[in-house]
Amino acid sequence: MLRSVYTALLYVFAPIAWAATALKGLRDPAYRERLPERLGYTQIFAPAGASRPIWLHAVSVGEVQAAAPLIRALLKQHLRHSLLVTTATPTGAQRVQALFGDSVRHAYLPYDLPGAVHRFLDRVRPLLAVVMEREIWPNLFGECERRRIPIVLASARISERSARRHQKFAALFREALSGNVTVAAQTALDAERYRSIGAQRVLVTGNVKFDIEVPQAAREAGATLRATQLANRPVWVAGSTHDGEEQQLLAAHRSVLAQRPDALLVLVPRHPNRFDAVRAWLRAEQVEFAARSRNEAVTPAMSVLLVDTLGELMTFYAAADIAFVGGSLIATVGGHNLLEPAVLERPILVGPHNFNAPDIAALLLERGAARQVDSAAALASAILELYASPAARAEMGAKASAIVAENRGALSRVLQLIEPLLQAPSANT
C-alpha cells in the first residue's frame, strides 16, 4: 500500500523534475543531453545470450570518485563482463568519462517509476547492481528482486537524521531492503541504522574511500606546477567550493596577503555550471586572477588561480602547501572528500559542517591531521600559522597519510562480497 502511494506521488512530481532538468539545460547544455534516459530509454543494450554487464551506480562526482578504486578492480578482475556506470548528474557523467574513458559505459539512472525501471532493466539486463553509499529506490530495488538481480549497497552510510526520516516509512524501506539487498556498511553505527530501517543482510566492510589511489600523472603534474608557475610562493588550495563560501575564502585570503603578499589562493569551485559566475565575481571584486581554462600564466601580480576545469583538483592538492576542503563552511552542504589531500600528505583545514562524512572528519581532527575553522578570520590565522611552520605542515600531512594507510582494506572486503554473487546460478539466467 505504502509503495503504491509512493509511486503515485512520483507520477505527480516526475514531470516537474523532467521540466526542471530541461530548464537547467538552458544554462548548462549537458542537462539537455540524453533526457530520454531519465525515463529508462537508455541506448545501452545487453542482448539475450550476450554476457550481462555489472552495473554500478554513483549519484554524482563525489560518489564516482569514491567508487573509482572499486571500478578499477572490477575492470581488472572481471574482464568477461562489461561495466555500466550510472549517475544522476552531468558532472558525475563527466567525471566517469575523465577517469575511465571508453573502458566503461555510462547512462543516467532513470526516475524510480515502474515503467522507466522496467525499460532500463529490460535493455541493460545487469548481472549485479552495486550502489554506492546511500541511494535507496523502492521501485528499482523491488524490480531487481523480482528479476533476481542481487544488489550490494557498497560503502553504505546513513546519518541519524536520515535514519529517523526513513523509519517513518518503515514498511516501504523494509520491503526495498529485503531479499536481494546486501548492505556493506562503512561503520558499525551505519550498520545499526540500516537494520533499524529494515535491512536484513548487513555487514561492516569499511569505507572504500580509504582505498583512494593517486594517479602518478597527478603527482607529476603537481610537481611540475610547483616547480614552474607556483615556484617560491606559499600556495593554499580551496577545493570543491560553493557560493556563500567563496566570499569567506576570499576574505581570508586578503587577510593572509596583508602579511604574506606573495601568497596564492588556488580556488576550485565544485560545480562547472558556476565557473562563469565565479569569474565574473572575481572581476567585480577587482581580484587579479588567472583562469586555468584559458591557460593564463600565474604572474607575481596575481593573487588567485581559478581552476575552472574538471578533474584537476588532485593535481593542485599535490602542488599546494595547505588544503582547505570546501562545502564545510556551508551548513546545508556538509563537506567534501577530506581523503584526497590526506593521501597526498597535505595539512588539512576544514569548516565545521562535515555531516557527509562525519567519521572521517572526526578521525582526522582527533589525530591532528586536520584543523577546524569556523570563520574567515580563523582560516586566515590557521594559514599564516602553518605557513610560518614547515615542520607543523609536515607533521599534519604525515598524520593524514598514516590515517589513510591504517584504514585501507574495505575494497578487498567488498570485492569478496561481490564475487560469490557473480557466480550464483541466478546471476546467469
The CATH number of residue 23's host domain is 3.40.50.11720
Clarify whether residues 152 and 28 are in a common domain: yes
Clarify whether residues 309 and 229 are in a common domain: yes
Does the pLDDT at position 95 exceed 70?
Answer: yes
In-domain check, residue 187: yes
Domain with 423 in it: 2-206+409-428
pLDDT at 30: 83
Clarify whether residues 273 and 168 are in a common domain: no
341 closest CA partner among 396, 300, 279? 396
Render pLDDT for 183-207 as a digit per residue (tens, 0 to 9).
999 999 999 999 999 999 999 999 9
Clarify whether residues 334 and 413 are in a common domain: no
In-domain check, residue 41: yes
Average pLDDT over residues 49-71: 90
Cβ neighbors of 190 (< 8 A, separation 6 or more) are: 156, 157, 158, 204
Does the pLDDT at position 425 exceed 60?
Answer: no
Clarify whether residues 167 and 267 are in a common domain: no
Q: Which three cell numbers stand for residue 38?
A: 531519465
Clarify whether residues 309 and 194 are in a common domain: no
Decide: 185 and 157 in contact? Cβ < 8 Å.
Answer: yes
- Whole-angstrom distance, CA of residue 210 vs CA of residue 202: 20
pLDDT at 319: 96
pLDDT at 427: 45
Residues classed as catalytic: 63
The single residue listed with the C-alpha cell 540500516 is 194
The CATH number of residue 310's host domain is 3.40.50.2000
pLDDT band at 151 (very low <50, low <70, confident <90, very high): very high
The more confidently predicted of residues 406 and 46 is 406
Sign of the four-CA dihedral 163, 166, 171, 177: negative
Cβ neighbors of 416 (< 8 A, separation 6 or more) are: none
Average pLDDT over residues 273-299: 95
Average pLDDT over residues 154-177: 91
Clarify whether residues 274 and 401 are in a common domain: yes
Does the pLDDT at position 247 exceed 60?
Answer: yes
Clarify whether residues 243 and 343 are in a common domain: yes
pLDDT band at 424 (very low <50, low <70, confident <90, very high): low
pLDDT at 428: 42
Supply the mean pLDDT for the chain. Answer: 93
Clarify whether residues 199 and 282 are in a common domain: no
325 closest CA partner among 348, 342, 292, 309? 348
- Whole-angstrom distance, CA of residue 46 vs CA of residue 105: 12
Render pLDDT for 220-238 as a digit per residue (tens, 0 to 9).
999 999 999 888 899 999 9
In-domain check, residue 33: yes
Clarify whether residues 121 and 231 are in a common domain: no
Which residues is 291 bridged to in the sheet?
306
Clarify whether residues 88 and 158 are in a common domain: yes
Average pLDDT over residues 198-217: 92
Clarify whether residues 422 and 307 are in a common domain: no
In-domain check, residue 423: yes
Render pLDDT for 330-377 as a digit per residue (tens, 0 to 9).
999 999 999 999 999 999 999 999 988 888 999 999 999 999 999 999
Decide: 153 and 129 in contact? Cβ < 8 Å.
Answer: no
Average pLDDT over residues 250-268: 98
pLDDT band at 49 (very low <50, low <70, confident <90, very high): low
Q: Please tell me the total count of domains within the chain.
A: 2
Average pLDDT over residues 296-305: 94
Cα angle value 17/157/133 (rounded, 5°): 55
Quick one: DSSP state of residue 151? E
In-domain check, residue 211: no
